[in-house]
């Protein structure tokens, strides 16, 4: 049983944080497009960023800042323009964005981190941003997380937010997070943004280690379409305002904090996968029996990344052959005579041999899960829980390695959305 419970508040649930989200005029749609998360005091900051060689200016800017020192106060995010592949002027725009916010907050520019999302090749619309920053700062609130979550999304159908609370020593500790992402999502980070706040006191090196491991078990274990983005950023702050003793090395308290951090990241990652462009269902692939955790995750990610498998799930076709084929090409050594595949409660293969099963009932299982998601996409339903996925269980043998990955099906609407993205 988890050592924490869910609370309300998102990134402003932890003590000492405020947030805001406004309409600055960056998006052609006129929807909210500028967000800010602010810690009232200096916070330890850690980050995980895209592995793409084509990176947005905000990614290079944040990496440079965090290499200098792992301390920050603010995260500024614009939506509408990715500011990627925009050359030297794009970097100057990024620096100016941070400088303008720092001046408005009356803090040093090196205490500001930035993020961007939107169309690649488009610079930030600086005039709306310049006029929007004072309004953004004025809108800061201890209950502003939902507004910030709404201002960072692009093609997302819903906002993504979570906050959890536990007890360390005799005091409560909270972690909150918001994220965006719907398309161009693939392991090793993707076109997603994730911002996490925490009120524990943690040493910089340990906080970075915790975040990197949490990212591997969450955001690096999701896929929507196999495309890694130029802008993906996961930034986590820890400001010590819970007044708990500083955690400086691994132990029981550090393990509890990391487990809660991982849970926050996994919730947000699954929400992104669930909200994949055109998706009708969330898929969770659970792999056991591998030699180690990394091998298990690799097989899980390969299966959930398979376009053939994702298409079959969209068509409510329990085609286990596509699962077996993806597992076999994952680059992980296993004995196919030990392969076991289960879809929901339907056992499809055991000891490498196909088994008879009720294909109609298995198809109905897939359709039943898809229906609520389809209603949301059509604007006729409420966001569905990330705890209602299509579940695929794969066993490779007797190894101790286990791992999970999450994704979504591949629908007609995905092609439509991305065929017309800039037109």
Tokens of residue 62, six digits: 């944040």
| Short-list 350, 352, 342, 354, CA closest to 393 | 342
**What residues pair up with 3 in beta bridges, in sequence order?**
none
**Cβ-contact 240, 207 below 8 angstroms:** no
Question: For residues 184, 259, 397 and 410, what is the CA-based torsion angle, rounded to 10 degrees?
Answer: -20
Q: Say how far apart CA 170 and CA 138 lie, in whole Å.
A: 35
Residue where the block lists tokens 């939107």:
118
**Cβ-contact 104, 134 below 8 angstroms:** yes
Tokens of residue 368, six digits: 């039943």
Helices 87-105 & 126-138, crossing angle to 10 degrees? 20
At residue 245, the 3 state secondary structure works out as: coil
Q: Say how far apart CA 340 and CA 159 lie, in whole Å.
A: 36
At residue 73, the 3 state secondary structure works out as: strand
Helices 204-216 & 252-274, crossing angle to 10 degrees? 40
Q: Say how far apart CA 206 and CA 345 lie, in whole Å.
A: 40
Tokens of residue 284, six digits: 């969770």
Q: Say how far apart CA 423 and CA 204 lie, in whole Å.
A: 44
Helices 293-305 & 307-314, crossing angle to 10 degrees? 60
Residue where the block lists tokens 């591949």:
410
Tokens of residue 267, six digits: 């919730």
C-alpha distance from residue 422 to each of 96, 208, 244, 417 (Å): 26, 36, 49, 10
| H helix or E strand, kind and range, residue 241 | none
Distance of CA 361 to the CA centre of its chain: 33
The residue from 154, 191, 228, 280 that is catalytic is 191
Computed over its alpha carbons, how large is the radius of gyration of the chain? Answer: 21
Q: Is 191 marked active-site?
A: yes
Q: Say how far apart CA 168 and CA 189 lie, in whole Å.
A: 30
- Catalytic residue numbers? 191
């Amino acid at each position: 049983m988890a050592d924490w419970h869910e609370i309300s508040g998102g990134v402003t649930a932890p003590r000492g944080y405020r947030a805001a989200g406004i309409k600055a005029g960056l998006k052609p749609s006129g929807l909210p497009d500028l967000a800010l998360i602010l810690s009232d005091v200096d916070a330890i900051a850690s980050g995980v960023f895209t592995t793409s060689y084509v990176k947005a200016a905000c990614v290079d800017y944040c990496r440079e800042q965090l290499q200098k020192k792992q301390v920050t106060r603010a995260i500024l995010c614009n939506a509408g323009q990715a500011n990627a592949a925009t050359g030297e002027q794009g970097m100057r725009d990024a620096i100016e964005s941070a400088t303008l916010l720092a001046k408005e907050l009356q803090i040093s520019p090196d205490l500001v981190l930035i993020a961007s999302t939107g169309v690649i090749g488009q610079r930030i619309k600086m005039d709306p941003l310049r006029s929007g920053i004072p309004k953004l700062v004025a809108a800061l609130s201890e209950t502003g997380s939902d507004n910030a979550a709404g201002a960072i999304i692009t093609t997302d159908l819903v906002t993504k937010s979570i906050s959890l609370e536990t007890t360390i020593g005799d005091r409560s500790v909270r972690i909150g997070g918001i994220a965006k992402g719907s398309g161009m999502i693939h392991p090793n980070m993707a076109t997603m943004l994730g911002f996490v706040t925490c009120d524990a006191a943690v040493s910089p090196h340990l906080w970075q280690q915790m975040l990197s491991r949490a990212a591997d078990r969450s955001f690096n274990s999701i896929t929507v379409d196999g495309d890694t983005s130029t802008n993906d950023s996961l930034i986590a702050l820890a400001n010590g305002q819970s007044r708990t003793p500083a955690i400086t090395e691994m132990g029981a308290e550090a393990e509890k904090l990391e487990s809660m951090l991982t849970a926050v990241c996994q919730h947000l990652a699954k929400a992104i996968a669930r909200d994949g462009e055109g998706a009708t269902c969330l898929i969770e692939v659970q792999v056991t029996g591998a030699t180690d955790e990394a091998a298990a995750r690799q097989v899980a990610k390969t299966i959930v990344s398979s376009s053939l498998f994702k298409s079959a799930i969209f068509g409510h076709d329990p085609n286990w052959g596509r699962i077996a084929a993806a597992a076999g090409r994952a680059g992980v050594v296993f004995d196919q005579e030990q392969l076991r595949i289960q879809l929901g409660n339907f056992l499809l293969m055991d000891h490498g041999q196909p088994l008879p099963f009720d294909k109609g009932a298995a198809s109905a299982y897939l359709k039943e899960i898809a229906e609520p998601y389809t209603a949301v996409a059509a604007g006729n339903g409420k966001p569905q829980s990330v705890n209602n996925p299509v579940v695929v269980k794969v066993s490779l043998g007797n190894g101790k390695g286990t791992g999970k990955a999450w994704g979504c099906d591949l629908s007609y609407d995905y092609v439509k959305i991305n065929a017309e993205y800039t037109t």
